[in-house]
Amino acid sequence: DSGYTVTKEKMPCMKCSEMRSGGYAPNGTIQLCYNQLYGKNHTETTMAHEMIHAYDQHNFNIKWLNLEHHACTEIRAASLSGDCTWFEELLRGNIGFLKHHQVCVKRRAALSLLGNPQCKSQKHAEAAVNKVFQSCFTDTRPFDEIY
């Protein structure tokens, strides 16, 4: 039990102006952007991604302005949610074979960090991701393995 209960009030569907399919707020709200979700699989992946943030927040007390904390939950969410499956990457136009899952996870985590007010640049985001990558990437809780 993660200590987090999902209710329809905690998961509003809304129109979003930014190019994002969802978001997690530290108050426990998971936002789904209906105008950016292109199908059932994408919706499920987005929900899983944001629910991993909720799990991390409620179990590890994430300090969102701490770039290493933020990087860790983004690494876990990108890796465990299905964000970096071969199919999702193909849809984005990113094709690779050698450790592509890890490359995708690092890229998507750094991209998310760019929205953090403590992040000064792409290099700063990448450095935070690289610093915590190994320990966060191998942490698959609450799952036994990568999705």
User: ∠ CA 24-142-37 to the nearest 5 degrees?
Assistant: 40
**Which of 9, 18, 44, 50 is labelled catalytic?**
50
Q: How far is CA 40 from CA 54, 83, 113, in A?
A: 21, 14, 26
CA–CA gap between residue 57 and residue 40 (Å, rounded): 26
CA–CA gap between residue 17 and residue 106 (Å, rounded): 25
- Asked if 126 is an active-site residue, the reply is no
Listed in sequence order, the residues at least 6 apart from 135 whose beta carbon sits closer than 8 Å to its beta carbon are 72
Parallel, antiparallel, or unpaired for β 30-33 and 22-24? antiparallel
- In 12-133, the DSSP E strands lie at 13-14, 22-24, 30-33
Catalytic residues: 50
